[in-house]
Structure 1
Amino acid sequence: MSADNCTENSFLPLRNVLNSIQCIRDRVRDGEPNESDGAFNLSNFWDTLNQAVKAVSHEATKLSLAYSKPPLPSEQDGEKLAESILKSLFTLSTVYYWLPKSQGITLRQQVRDATVGVLEGVAQLVEIILSTPLQSMSQEQLISTGSVWSACDQFTQLPRDNKAAVLVALSAQSGVVKDAIEEIEQALSEAQDPFSDVLDDDQDGDEPRGNQDTYWSEKDRRVIGPCQGLMKASAACLRKLASAVKTNGDVSAAQNVAQLDDLADITKDISPGIDDLALCLYPPMDYSGVENNVSKVAALLEKVLGIIRCSHVCGESELTWVQFLDSAVSHNLQKAHDLIQQDS
């Protein structure tokens, strides 16, 4: 048998296992949980899931080392390695499916994303082994192996219940909104022409810039004021809601778990809305676009505040800031509308 045939036979099990891994990944990404009428032990789930993740990490390391230098594993040994990694991944996906929606959709989404991350990492490692000439472990294979370890390590950072999962989601939203606010504030604090550093400066020095569409007019800056007010109200809403969830959030009752999911679901639209609003504030400012985005953000915040008000995380002290933010949203919406309509 020629050397080429030996190499091909050694890699054949990996080519077959790659297709299987990709199928498992797709099922995890799109599949539904195995709902059970019996009691679900969340602590047992995490113990079993962590064991499954450690097994994947171990098998991925074995696989990478086996194909890191000559001689190649025999076809029989290659089949054993492929079966072992596939078995560990199948076990991981099976344990993931144990987690029912009743434990929280937000929690399940984060566990699903972490599971898909491991599956994609192993699939990439197998692809690199198949495509890299066998001499010594390539830098690419070393990095890919490390990526699998990193994906497995993510499981230690996952939230352990739906309350913690919702707090993770709210924190991510808060970060995006905070960045948008800071970018606008920085642009406003700079020179009158915020794009002077990226435009062609080959102009006659004595002539002012002719294209006024590259900087804000006085009216533009006035309009930005209430838009900033809405953005800050969004940031305050997310911050206050996170505090309320941390203090009052409950996962012992199915209704409360579902309410937490509703809060995570409705607030996930805040950061895209704020991004859209921030983008349309840059010159040349399209007032109709600004008014449209202001109205969308205001309507979303009013809806969010309404859901918070009716949820179990809203106690008497929370009601105060909910009402305050509701008034702030209405005030800034009206102010933006009035300023845009001025002199139009």
Structure 2
Amino acid sequence: MSADNAVGNVSVPLRNLLNSIQCMRDRVRDGESNESDGAFDLSNFWHTLNQAVKAVSQEATKLSVAFSKPPLPSQQDGEKLSEWILKSVLSLSTVYYWLPKSQGVSLRRQVRDAIVDVLEGVTQLVGVILSSPLQSLSHEQLTSTGGVWSACDSLSQLPRDNKAALLVVLCAQIGVVKDAIEEIEQALSEVQDPFSDVLDDDQEPRGNQDTYWSEKDRRVIGPCQGLMKASAACLRKLTSAVKTHGDVSTPQNVAQLDDLADITKELSPGVDDLALCLYPPMDYSGVEDNVSKLGALLKKVLEIIRCSHVCGESQLTWVQFLDGAVDHNLQKTKDLLQQDS
């Protein structure tokens, strides 16, 4: 048999494998879980999932090693390798469907996304092998194999319940909001044009006043920063409250944690939108619009916190304080925008 025929024969099971994993990945991405009628054993789910992801990592490694140097595996060996890795990813996908929504939508989303990342990693690995089956271990194949390992490792480190899943969401939001606040503070501290760092070396400094903040602009920024900082404080305080009072023992509490995750995910885009419209030339109508949106969103977040099980008596104090701070900054911004230039 010629080398070309050997390549063609061993490519057939690999192409079939690639198509199967791609279909599986898409089904997991769009699929729904099976609802659990009785008590769900979450610890058993995690044990089984960890075993499944280890199997995927091992089979992906075997596949990569088998195609890392000549001679190529025979068609029969290629079929066996493809069968084993397909079985491992099918098992992983099946375990995902065990996890019911009653354990938390936030948790399911993070598990789903992590499994999709694993399946995408295996897809890329198989694709790389198909594109260069006779070469020695290429940089692309090495990178793809490492990508599968990394995705499998990330899956094994997922939050174990919906409370932990919410804390992951809050941590991400805190980071984005903190960055937006710091960027505005940095720009304000610079005497020069805040966009000067993006000018090309051969460009002359711009004399257009639209590239600088006026005194009124700087006054308007003050209460806008207040709203952004209130968002950051809300996220920090909520994180502490969830750590202390977050509970996943009842469906109602699990659902409340999901509500908190969904609403707080809107905070960082709201803060970003407000921050972007503060840069010169400042569009006052845009500022007013984004201030109103962020203020309304913050008040909605605070109300959902107030009505949830994570809000005890001590939490109610800061919820009320931040609610007042939102009103104060909204009114102050409105008053400043209405003043004559």
**Superposition TM-score tier, normalisation by shorter sequence:** over 0.9
- Kindly provide the CA deviation profile for residues 240-275 of structure 1, in whole angstroms up to 9, marking residues without a partner as x: 001000000000011000000000001100000101
| 1:78-117 matched pairs, under 5 angstroms | 78-117=78-117
1:118 aligns with 118
- The 3-state SS of whatever aligns with 2:38 is coil
2:333 aligns with 336
- Kindly provide the CA deviation profile for residues 205-234 of structure 1, in whole angstroms up to 9, marking residues without a partner as x: xxx953111111111110000000000000
CA distance in 2 between counterparts of 1:210 and 1:322 reads: 45
1:15 aligns with 15
Q: Bigger shift: 151-160 or 82-91?
A: 151-160
| 1:1-344 matched pairs, under 5 angstroms | 1-199=1-199, 209-343=206-340
Which consecutive unaligned segments of at least 5 residues does structure 1 have? none
Which consecutive unaligned segments of at least 5 residues does structure 2 have? none
- Kindly provide the CA deviation profile for residues 100-155 of structure 1, in whole angstroms up to 9, marking residues without a partner as x: 00000000100001100000000000000011252310011011101100100012
CA distance in 1 between counterparts of 2:78 and 2:199 reads: 58
| Residues 1:341 and 1:201: Cα distance change in structure 2 (over 3 Å) | farther
| Residues 1:209 and 1:129: Cα distance change in structure 2 (over 3 Å) | closer
- The 3-state SS of whatever aligns with 2:273 is helix
CA distance in 2 between counterparts of 1:310 and 1:9 reads: 63
Aligned residues: 341
Aligned-partner residue type, residue 181 of structure 2 = I
Displacement of 1:200 in angstroms is 5.8
Aligned-partner residue type, residue 162 of structure 1 = N
TM-score with structure 1 length normalisation?
Answer: 0.97
| Residues 1:55 and 1:133: Cα distance change in structure 2 (over 3 Å) | closer
CA distance in 2 between counterparts of 1:193 and 1:145 reads: 47
Overall identity of the aligned pairs, in %:
82
Displacement of 1:199 in angstroms is 3.1
- Kindly provide the CA deviation profile for residues 251-300 of structure 1, in whole angstroms up to 9, marking residues without a partner as x: 00110000000000011000001011111111110000000000000000
TM-score with structure 2 length normalisation?
Answer: 0.98
CA distance in 2 between counterparts of 1:200 and 1:265 reads: 41
Contact 2:7 2:133 in 1 (8 A): no
Displacement of 1:39 in angstroms is 1.2
Aligned-partner residue type, residue 37 of structure 1 = D
CA distance in 2 between counterparts of 1:209 and 1:7 reads: 61
Contact 1:128 1:141 in 2 (8 A): yes
- The 3-state SS of whatever aligns with 1:197 is helix
Question: Following superposition, which runs of at least 4 residues in structure 1 exceed 2 angstroms of deviation?
Answer: 196-204
> What root-mean-square deviation, in Å, do the aligned CA atoms of Structure 1 and Structure 2 show?
1.3
Displacement of 1:88 in angstroms is 0.3
Contact 1:192 1:216 in 2 (8 A): no
Aligned-partner residue type, residue 102 of structure 2 = S
| Residues 1:133 and 1:76: Cα distance change in structure 2 (over 3 Å) | closer
Displacement of 1:196 in angstroms is 2.4
CA distance in 1 between counterparts of 2:77 and 2:201 reads: 66
CA distance in 1 between counterparts of 2:222 and 2:269 reads: 20
CA distance in 2 between counterparts of 1:133 and 1:113 reads: 30
